[in-house]
Amino acid sequence: MNTKEFVEKIKNGEIDIVEHTENVIDECKKINKEYNYFNIISEELALAQAKEIKRQIKNNDSIIKNKKLLGVAISVKDAICVKGVESTAGSKILKGYKPLFDATVIKRVKDAGGIIIGKTSQDEFGFGSFSVNVGLGFAIPKNPFDKTRSCGGSSGGAGGITQKASFPHIALGESTGGSIAAPASFCGVFGLCPTYGRVSRYGLMDYANSLDKIGTLGKSVYDAALLLEVIAGFDNNESTTINKPTEKYTESTNKNIKNMRIGIIKESFANIDKNVGKNVREGVKKLEEHGAKSEEISLKLPIEHGISTYYIIATSEASTNLAKYCGMRYGISEKLEGNFNEYFTKVRSNNFGAEAKRRIILGTFARMSGYRDAYYIKATKIRAMIVSEYKKLFKKYDALVSPTMPIVAPKFSEIEKLTPLQNYMMDIMTVSPNLAGLPHLSVPVGFDGNMHIGMMLTADHLREGKLIQLGNIFNN
């Protein structure tokens, strides 16, 4: 049963929402024992929401008719605040923190009748491509098709539960440099990352303010579009949201793609797995069969300089954002001993993981007096040039195509052998659209053995509808 049919059945009283939610929670618990997709399952909140929906249906409340997500299970990346539910961004330093408010996206999901089922596992504060950089004491999520492999990062739990759930479900993820696209590719689902500012970041625990975007993951393009339709739009609480009308994104799933123009980024096919390249090319052929027109294009600057530009800007912003977690006003506290510097050092050393410490150090160095011009300021200039390169191409093309990831989901034993730099290079295709604030969609286009391969479609700012049009061709 697809999500649209499910919502109608709930509205008509054909499904007992409380009983259904109990079954959903039971299934999540069973999946979690094997795959570690949740940091916490919000059973109490989910059942309270289900009972309220049942009451509204019983009373025939007119408000029910307009609830687009009525009864649909929504998982939430742990970096997004949910009132009264432990929210840690996957870090030991925030263990025990229960927000006193809902993030804007959570409020909108609740208003639309969505049921919050839990907080999904992730790399600590979003620092990773494989969800192996989880915080101290957290479990690493496993690929839904092979438990010895990664399900991608940093929204790893979101991608995994989206693939594994047998019930109608959509995930809220978050991306800074590819954290929605990567797990979507490795787990064989659709990952939709909107234009920067299209969705409010109010209530999101920051990684890098100028890059972070909340997006959606679904088993179908319709599901990803439906949740985006609910959460998108201006928010008075958040200064970077775009004050422009949103589209009815689900309507784009009904449009054909005849004569849409696709640019194939030739540089994105260098140094990737052979089968990845082959399947992405097959994906382009499928678009052509439905009337799209494609040609190869060059996008040299973002591919060659995207990684270095991204990691300078992202780590600089991260080091600033994470400074507040020092055990005084924010973050876990310890026994106050010695002077403040010694206390802060103890709190941060004991509660941040290795990758969080690495990025704090990198970012602090890049923005230090004497280095700021050489690194951070230069990176911001390259970023502006990257935006300009994309904008030139979008004058001619509706969307650009590349592989989402250069490889299929790697084994954990393989990831252990990678250097930090090799880890960072995995984001080579995904960082530049995030640097430019562009919307992008990862769609499953094939397999290498039983491992999924993703193709990424990137469009101009506020052109999510075009991505949904094109991505709908790949629905099973």
Report cis status (omega within 30 of 0) of the bond before 154: yes
Give the Cα separation of 202 and 104 in Å (integer): 6
CA dist 12 to 30, 51, 69, 134, 250, Å?
30, 16, 14, 42, 21
Give the Cα separation of 220 and 189 in Å (integer): 7
Q: For residue 324, what are the contacts with CB-CB under 8 A and spacing of at least 6?
A: 330, 331
Give the Cα separation of 25 and 366 in Å (integer): 45
Catalytic hit among 67, 68, 77, 92: 77
Residue 382 in contact with residue 110, Cβ under 8 Å? no
Catalytic hit among 179, 200, 252, 316: 179
Give the Cα separation of 407 and 203 in Å (integer): 33
- The Cβ-side half-sphere exposure at 303, using a 13 Å CA radius, reads 18
Q: DSSP 3-state assignment of 356? A: helix
Give the Cα separation of 426 and 406 in Å (integer): 7
Give the Cα separation of 102 and 365 in Å (integer): 34
Catalytic hit among 87, 154, 175, 268: 154
Residue identified by tokens 């995995």 is 426
Q: For residue 358, what are the contacts with CB-CB under 8 A and spacing of at least 6?
A: 420
Active site residue 154: yes
Residue 15 — φ and ψ, nearest 5°? -125, 130
Distance of CA 377 to the CA centre of its chain: 27
Catalytic machinery residues: 77, 154, 179
